[in-house]
Amino acid sequence: SSPVSRLLPPAPAIFYGRDEEVGRIVDLVLHKPPARIAILGSGGIGKTSIALTVLHQADIVQYYSDRRFFLSCEATPTAGAVTQALMNLFGLQSDTQRGVPPRDLVVSYLRSLHNGVLCLDNLETPWDSDVQAIEDLLALFASLPCMALIVTTRGANRPKQVAWTPPRLPQLTPLSFEAAQETWNAI
C-alpha cells in the first residue's frame, strides 16, 4: 500500500444500522462526481464512523485507491491550521522561497491527482471559530472538478458556498433499537 493509504484510519470494527446512509454516500461519490457531501448530526451519533466506512467500501477503494484522504479537524481551530494539517497529510513542504501560499500548494496537489476523495471530519471545530475562511477554503476545494468532498459536522447546517450534491443526506437520527442493541452486544 502507498504511504498515503497507510495514513487512512481503519473502518470501524463495530458498525451497525447505517447501511442506508453508507450506500447513499457511496452511490453519490461514484455516480455524481465530483460529489459534495455533508454528514450532519449531533456529537457521537456516528458521522465519523459513516465517513470511514464509506472510504473503505470496496468500490470506493477500487476507484480511488490511494487517493482517499481523511483529516480530523478536531485539533485545527482555523482555516490556516486545516491547510497546514493537509500539507502534513500530503507530505508537502512550504515553498517560502517562491512565496507560494500553503493553500495554493494544497489545491495544486489535489488538482494533480486527477481524481480523489477528501474527507474533512469534525469540521465544526474550525468552522465555528473561522467561519468565512473555512467556507472560502471549502469553496476552493469544491471548485476542483475531480475531487469528491465529504465533510462531517455537528448540527443541522451545511457550510455555505458549496453546491452540495443532491439528494442531500438528511441529518442523522439515533440508531434503531436493534442496531443499538447489536452495537452494545458487539462491544
Q: Tell me if the pTM is above 0.75.
A: yes
Quickly state the pLDDT bin for 7 (edges 50, 70, 90): confident
| Residue that wins the pLDDT comparison between 5 and 40 | 40
Identify the pLDDT of residue 6: 57
Question: Is residue 143 exposed (0-12), middle (13-18) or buried (19+ Cβ within 10 Å)?
Answer: middle
pLDDT at 77 over 50: yes
**DSSP state, residue 115:** S
Which of 15, 3, 4, 2 minimizes the C-alpha distance to 57? Answer: 15
Identify the pLDDT of residue 148: 97
Q: Whole-angstrom Cα distance, residue 103 to residue 182?
A: 43
Q: Whole-angstrom Cα distance, residue 123 to residue 82?
A: 9
Contacts of 155 (CB under 8 A, 6+ apart): 40, 42, 124
Question: Residue 17: how many CA atoms within 13 Å on its side-chain side?
Answer: 18
Task: Render pLDDT for 126-151 as a digit per residue (tens, 0 to 9).
Answer: 999 999 999 999 999 999 999 999 99
Identify the pLDDT of residue 3: 47
